[in-house]
Chain A
Amino acid sequence: MRSVLGSRPWLTLALIALVLAAMPFVIDDNYLLHILILFLIFAVFATGWNLTLGILGQKTLGHHAFFAIGAYTTALLSGTVGLSPWLTLWLGVLAAALAGGLIGIPILRIRSMPHVAIVTLAFAEIVKLLLANWKDVTRGELGLWGIPPFPAIEIGGTTIRFGAGQIAGSFALALLAFVAVHALVLWLLRGRFGLTMVAIRDSQLAAESLSIDLTRSKLAAFALSAAIVGLSGGLYAHYLQILTPTSTAGPEMLVTLLAMIILGGVGTFFGPIFGALVLTALTEYLREYGDLRMLIYGATVTLFVILLPRGVAGLLTRRGRPAAAGDEPATAPET
């Protein structure tokens, strides 16, 4: 699994967490910390999506739907119904996981990756249209605003507040989620689950011949992946406190997140984290360039893909990867 995890992944993750934890103490700029909070949320999103896209090798293009499902479920249940966001966050995760399992069922029957891509893309479009047109509940493209932040908690006499204006608390919460999700995914990938997923990606026939249950493994991966993405959606909703169908389940979200995974290194554990950092920062800093923003953004992504075809993480895992040329492939494409 070195090609996925690199060497010493726990140490690398601990170092990343330590550096991030130090950020609020060394950065005295709330805007910069706000960007870092978004990065933490999107890194969780990208890692969740990468589970099916890169590690399991299913070319799913609709994970922004799970982000929207997680976000809207928790926003509506807390804002409209009045339940605590601490509870509704998990209901959002559950809703996303169920949706992941649900979309996983038809995907299981499809072995052609372009078809998987189309089905999942269509699913996301349906979710977006549903959110945009179910105006009585979601307010459509006018946006669901006034979403309550997570209620404040008190630790050792200190009150920690969350939400859009509460940078310190929001950063701590986003970092906690980031570390917890990445530790969980790393633990799973280092065990039987990780080997199972990569085995399915690299040869379904061989995986099946070894007694790996393709249906169960894929469904579990889909549900877990969707749950993690749903969690990032919930964190996003209660942090920014406003949602629109397009900003959550729209094509820009799809392209941005896909670019994060590809730029960072699809199918690698640390890749999406790097990709999320680079592209979240780039998206924010390019805002002042107006219409030129997407042009510069696109050029940057293209440049990265040309210079680092295996992503930023490819630099870390080079030793573990097969040589690009000259080697006989271990497996021929399955027909």
Chain B
Amino acid sequence: MTEPLLALDAIDVRYGPTQVLWGVTLRVEPGEVVAVMGPNGSGKSTVLKAAMGLKGVSGGRVMFRGEDMTRRPATARPGAGMSIVLERRRLFPFMSVRENIELGAYARRLSRADLARSFDEVLALFPEIAGHLDATAARLSGGQQQMVAIARGLMGDPQLLLMDEPLLGLSPALQRHVIDLMGRINQRGVAILFNEQNAKLSFGLSHRGYLLESGRVVLEGSGVEMLDHPEVRRVYLGEEAA
């Protein structure tokens, strides 16, 4: 059996004295789309931050491509092949769109020519922002900013793209657009681990999914299995039990 791309092995995470993740175990295989779904405050974002090294773990292990990354800082992740699209985008508002996207390749230390090539490849996925490259990021609409954030994430040339609430605050039309983008990114061989509150969106989009409640994984399975699970249908899809 091949090694998973990302493996969180019974991780615990604390914010000060408060423990927010309890023995969370999760894996992402190469080329897979995996959803972490759960209600507000269940610890979904923390799972992604811990995977990226932006939040330290107090127990368990974070393995990426067979390498133990648990004690390695966040700055080691992009070079190893992991990128994150942060919640609420976290663009650099006073920089241009081009500068924001190019900074995504910071860890790769590309030559000017390689940077330009990589930039053009990524930009091909985002025709809607091609006309705004010199605009200041904060001037873009929320949807366009999300595109810039995803483009920035892709500039790291990741094998695994973490996406923290990528559909949050977007109109249904824009949500469909981002979902379509996620599909196309995945077709390029990039695995995606994302979190989302909506069960239909989460599990409808993913090969596999995890349901998180109060910092614990309570359910896992394929996307179809998760959508069909009576508990998910009753609590998260509002369907009456048969």
Are A199 and B75 in contact, CB atoms less than 8 angstroms apart? no
**Residues of chain A at the chain B interface (Cβ within 8 Å):** 1-4, 192, 195-196, 198-199, 202-203, 205-206, 208-213, 320-323, 327-332
Are B99 and A210 in contact, CB atoms less than 8 angstroms apart? no
By size class, the interface of chain B is: 35 or more
Once the chains are docked, how many angstroms separate the CA of A203 from the CA of B145? 15
Once the chains are docked, how many angstroms separate the CA of A330 from the CA of B134? 16
Once A330-B138, A331-B88 are accepted as A-B contacts, the answer to whether A209 and B74 lie under 8 Å apart by CB is yes
Are B107 and A211 in contact, CB atoms less than 8 angstroms apart? yes
Are A329 and B92 in contact, CB atoms less than 8 angstroms apart? no
Residues of chain B with a CB closer than 8 A to A209's CB: 52, 54, 74, 77-78, 83-84, 86, 90
Once A323-B139, A332-B88 are accepted as A-B contacts, the answer to whether A1 and B95 lie under 8 Å apart by CB is yes
Are B92 and A199 in contact, CB atoms less than 8 angstroms apart? yes
Are A206 and B138 in contact, CB atoms less than 8 angstroms apart? no
- The yes or no answer to B223 lying at the interface (CB within 8 A) is no
Are A331 and B90 in contact, CB atoms less than 8 angstroms apart? yes
Are A322 and B75 in contact, CB atoms less than 8 angstroms apart? no
Residues of chain A with a CB closer than 8 A to B76's CB: 211
Are B86 and A210 in contact, CB atoms less than 8 angstroms apart? no
Once the chains are docked, how many angstroms separate the CA of A239 from the CA of B87? 53
Are A206 and B92 in contact, CB atoms less than 8 angstroms apart? yes
Are A211 and B54 in contact, CB atoms less than 8 angstroms apart? no
Are B54 and A205 in contact, CB atoms less than 8 angstroms apart? yes
Once the chains are docked, how many angstroms separate the CA of A192 from the CA of B108? 12
The minimal Cβ–Cβ distance linking B72 to chain A, given in whole angstroms, is 12
Are B103 and A330 in contact, CB atoms less than 8 angstroms apart? no
**Residues of chain B at the chain A interface (Cβ within 8 Å):** 52, 54, 74-79, 83-84, 86, 88-96, 99, 102-104, 106-107, 134, 136-142, 145, 152, 156
Residue from A196, A210, A327, A332 within 8 A of B139 (CB atoms): A327
Once the chains are docked, how many angstroms separate the CA of A330 from the CA of B147? 12
Are B94 and A4 in contact, CB atoms less than 8 angstroms apart? yes
Residue from B93, B95, B156 within 8 A of A210 (CB atoms): B156
Once the chains are docked, how many angstroms separate the CA of A8 from the CA of B38? 50
Once A195-B95, A198-B95, A211-B106 are accepted as A-B contacts, the answer to whether A328 and B77 lie under 8 Å apart by CB is no
Closest to B88 in A: A332
Residues of chain B with a CB closer than 8 A to A2's CB: 96, 134, 136
Lowest 10 A-B CB distances belong to which pairs? A322-B138, A211-B107, A330-B93, A206-B90, A330-B91, A211-B78, A3-B94, A202-B92, A330-B138, A211-B75
Once the chains are docked, how many angstroms separate the CA of A38 from the CA of B131? 46
Residues of chain A with a CB closer than 8 A to B106's CB: 192, 196, 210-212
Once the chains are docked, how many angstroms separate the CA of A196 from the CA of B92? 11
Once the chains are docked, how many angstroms separate the CA of A199 from the CA of B152? 13
Once the chains are docked, how many angstroms separate the CA of A1 from the CA of B84? 23
Residue from A195, A211, A213, A330 within 8 A of B137 (CB atoms): A330
Residues of chain B with a CB closer than 8 A to A192's CB: 106
- Given A4-B94, A322-B136, list of 6 further CB < 8 A pairs? A195-B102, A203-B90, A206-B90, A209-B90, A210-B104, A212-B75
Residue from A203, A208, A213, A332 within 8 A of B92 (CB atoms): A203
Once the chains are docked, how many angstroms separate the CA of A203 from the CA of B103? 13
Are A330 and B86 in contact, CB atoms less than 8 angstroms apart? no
Residues of chain A with a CB closer than 8 A to B75's CB: 208, 211-213
